[in-house]
């Protein structure tokens, strides 16, 4: 009996050890989602960075990149990690995908800064470029500084003649953010970790072959909270 009990205990130990080894640590991804949610919440509640309801109503997708790092000594570069979610034909926000923002700029720049960035996609072309491979801002999709004020109305204050509208708040020596030439692409490693299998940006954002997880929940809750009720 003792030998049988010992063997059973050993077997259970091996099973639990294997399960622990297979568990994927998504702490970084969860923290990124929480940071993205905080950026969206704070910027939507501030008069000088608020995204108008009219623009949120037209949004096809929203991407948030907290703490985009930019540093330069003659030649500047940027790098950020964030999340993006897209709407379906009914206007409902779907699962979030993890994304990268990279790029470079040339100029007389000294110092470093971090920038919180929100991008609102209002045309399908920009999102399609991202899902196919990557989107080069200013080339594959036009990008402009977003209009401010919740009460702004489309057709009056908003011409909506750009594919993407950007909102940013900067800390450090650089004010604002220049996005022309920046490249936005899917973070495949994080998407695979969170959703447990190899999925593409299209699988997540358009085909919706995955369901929302606790790792992305904070970001999606924030996006839905600030979407006008008539478009949720």
Q: In 50-64, which positions are buried (b, 16+ CB within 10 angstroms) versus exposed (e)?
A: bbbbbbbebbbbbbb
- Please, are residues 85 and 33 in contact by the beta-carbon 8 Å criterion? no
What are the pLDDT digits (tens) for 129-187? Answer: 777 767 777 666 777 777 666 555 444 445 566 788 888 887 654 444 567 678 889 99
**Looking at the domain assignment, is residue 155 inside a domain?**
yes
Residue 29 pLDDT level (bands cut at 50, 70, 90): very high
Cα–Cα distance measured from residue 96 to residue 210, given in angstroms and rounded to the nearest whole number: 9
pLDDT > 50? residue 15: no
pLDDT of residue 21: 35
**Looking at the domain assignment, is residue 11 inside a domain?**
no
**Looking at the domain assignment, is residue 14 inside a domain?**
no
**Looking at the domain assignment, is residue 80 inside a domain?**
yes
Q: Which residues face 119 on adjacent strands?
A: 63, 166
What are the pLDDT digits (tens) for 75-129? Answer: 566 788 999 999 988 889 999 999 998 876 544 445 556 788 899 998 877 777 7
Q: Is the model more confident about 57 or about 151?
A: 57
pLDDT > 60? residue 30: yes
Give the domain extent around 44: 26-231
What are the pLDDT digits (tens) for 177-220? Answer: 567 678 889 999 999 999 988 899 999 999 999 998 999 999 99
**Looking at the domain assignment, is residue 41 inside a domain?**
yes
**Looking at the domain assignment, is residue 108 inside a domain?**
yes
**Looking at the domain assignment, is residue 189 inside a domain?**
yes
Q: Is the model more confident about 170 or about 73?
A: 170
- Report the domain count for the chain: 1
**Looking at the domain assignment, is residue 2 inside a domain?**
no
């Amino acid at each position: 009996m003792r030998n049988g009990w010992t063997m059973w205990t050993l077997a259970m130990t091996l099973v639990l050890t294997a399960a622990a080894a297979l568990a994927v640590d998504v702490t970084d991804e969860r923290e990124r989602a929480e940071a993205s949610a905080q950026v969206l919440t704070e910027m939507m509640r501030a008069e000088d960075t608020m995204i108008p309801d009219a623009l949120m109503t037209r949004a096809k997708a929203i991407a948030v990149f907290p703490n985009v790092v930019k540093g330069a000594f003659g030649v500047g570069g940027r790098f950020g990690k964030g999340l993006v979610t897209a709407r379906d034909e009914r206007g409902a926000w779907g699962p979030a995908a993890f994304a990268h923002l990279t790029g470079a700029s040339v100029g007389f720049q000294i110092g470093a800064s971090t920038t919180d960035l929100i991008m609102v996609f209002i045309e399908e072309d920009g999102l399609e470029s991202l899902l196919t491979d990557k989107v080069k801002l200013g080339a594959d999709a036009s990008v402009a500084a977003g209009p401010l004020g919740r009460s702004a109305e489309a057709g009056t204050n908003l011409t909506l003649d750009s594919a993407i509208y950007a909102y940013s708040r900067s800390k450090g020596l650089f004010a604002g953010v220049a996005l022309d030439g920046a490249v936005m692409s899917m973070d495949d490693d994080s998407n695979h970790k969170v959703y447990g299998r190899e999925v593409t940006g299209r699988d997540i954002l358009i085909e919706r072959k995955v369901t929302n997880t606790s790792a992305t929940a904070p970001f999606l809750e924030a996006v839905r909270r600030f979407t006008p009720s008539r478009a949720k």
